[in-house]
Structure 1
Amino acid sequence: MSAVVSTSHQPATSGASLVVHGLRRETPAPLRSISFSLESGASATLFSMDGSANAALRAIIGLESVDGGTSRIGDHELARQHNEPPMSHAECVGLLISDPVVTEGRTLAEHIAQGFGKPCSATDEGCTTTLPALIASLGFTGADSAIVDQLPLALQHRVAIGRAVVGKPALIAADDPYIHVEPRERPLLIALLQAVASEHQIGVLYATSDPQIASRSQLVYVVERGTIVKILQGTQHVQAYFGG
């Protein structure tokens, strides 16, 4: 796998929820002109065995700085240069990480409602309509008052999906969120996130070193040493690459 992706693969802007162009840096983890686009409501996976995919994701959403290049969702510029301070983009990017971020003693409904970014009120349509419907979609009907820190880890991650989705961002950035979950439980979480995000027309961008996760994607960007070296599109190509 030595061929480099053609430079003619440029990010499209028409209807794209995420456009990444020419992201580069030398440290802490090198990136070599990362460019691609993700259409509104679509999903893709950045895959690497050397951590490059995760480094690229963190740079794309502005958690880590870059030397140059851009990434944006609509009018929101996500990538930041080294001299720029970190900024929250919670209004357009939901984040899933390996820690489901559970607060002791809080209920399931309270955790998910945090994704609104403001206190929930009885007159807020999101709290009265969106929240109950999402709780049902996640398979938690009747469990609004369950204490999340008492749930198994896989269920805590299911709650985290709800928190990421409920505010209806344009994109969910999933930075290897299920690496500490039992392998047999990962496929359900992957499928659940995809189903719920698709229902709300939210894009999903995974970054992972886990072939099990990458092989379930319809679009995979293979990253090596900070460079996109291969684009796999469609079930046949993805499964052939991962030996499925």
Structure 2
Amino acid sequence: MPLIQAQNISKNYRVGDQEVPALKGISFEIGEGAFAAFVGPSGSGKSTLLNLIGCLDHPSSGTLLVHGTDISTLSRSAAATFRGEHLGFVFQDFNLVPVLSVYENIEYPLLMVRGWSQDKRREQVNKMIAAVGMTEQANKRPDQLSGGQKQRVAVARALVGEPKLVLADEPTANLDHDTAYRVLNLMKAMRNDFGTSFIFSTHDPKIMQEAEQIFTLEDGRLNPQGVAA
């Protein structure tokens, strides 16, 4: 079974008295272990689609299955539970909690949604810190880190709960060229080591070069000529 199955997904937003279509009948499949990207210009619908996959919004119509669950029918509380159990997120502005240390930022998702013991949390957090090469910075706060280090922490935080899927919205936008490639190589290594799928929303050529599957969105539609496996 594919990790993600989307069938005729549409999403409309109400602006005043009008409904504005953001997605117009999108259908696609993504398999497990993917390193895939939704690409397109601003306003093409790629971030909207990532939000739907991430259970942060509901489609207006269509069916969207993630890990065998039709997430288009989930209630708000059920969607939050599904996110906590199956999904991780990486953002372009890192979204680290400024008053928490590296260790505490990575541990935070486990405190929110996992009934793990302190010893189990400590073991998992330390494993992820080591995996992203941040052991020596474990007690530092975000304002003491470089952009690349912050994104490595964000990757570790996304993976600490062992999700099946990590969604990354423009994760290299605030990184210089060399740092962006290091972060992308880290994500690929984590995919290979942990079997986690990564899906990006981006217009960054660096991600497009590294992606193994690309979906091109134009004006809310999937361009069939822009899908590559």
Would you call these one fold, judging by a TM-score over 0.5?
yes
User: Is 1:214 the equivalent of 2:208?
Assistant: yes
| 1:73 corresponds to | 66
Unaligned runs of 5+ in 2: 14-19
- Stretch of structure 1 that moved more, 150-159 or 108-117: 108-117
2:162 aligns with: 168
For 2:34, give the aligned amino acid: A
Secondary structure, aligned partner of 1:169: coil
Do 2:34 and 2:213's aligned partners in 1 also have CA atoms closer than 8 Å? no
Shift of 1:146: 2.2
Structure number with higher helix proportion? 2
Q: For residues 228 and 161 of structure 2, what CA distance do their matches in structure 1 show?
A: 31
The correspondence of residues 114-133 of structure 1 with structure 2, limited to 5 A, is 114-116=108-110, 117-118=113-114, 121-124=117-120, 126-128=121-123, 130-133=124-127
Q: Residue 16 of structure 2 corresponds to which residue in structure 1?
A: none
Per the alignment, residue 37 of structure 2 pairs with 45
* 2:26 alignment counterpart: 34
Aligned positions of 1:41-120 closer than 5 A: 41-51=33-43, 52-79=45-72, 85=76, 87-88=79-80, 89-116=83-110, 117-118=113-114
Listed one character per residue, the Cα deviations across residues 152-186 of structure 1 (whole Å, up to 9, x for unaligned) are 12211110100000101111011112212223321
Which residue of 1 is the match for residue 11 of structure 2? 25
Supply the AA of the counterpart residue of 1:73. Answer: V
> Equivalent residue for 1:236?
none
Question: 2:53·2:64 contact (CA, 8 Å) conserved in 1?
Answer: yes
1:97–1:175 Cα contact (<8 Å) kept: yes
The DSSP-based 3-state class of the residue aligned with 2:119 is: coil
- RMSD value, Cα: 2.2
The 8 Å contact of residues 41 and 204 in structure 1, kept in 2 or not, is answered as yes
Q: Does 2:228 correspond to 1:232?
A: yes
Q: TM-score normalised to the size of structure 1? A: 0.79
Match of 1:223 in 2: 217
Match of 1:150 in 2: 144
| Distance in 2 of aligned mates of 1:222 and 1:85 | 29
**TM-score normalised per structure 2:** 0.84
Q: Secondary structure at the match of 1:24?
A: strand
C-alpha contact (below 8 Å) 1:70/1:77 kept by paired residues = yes
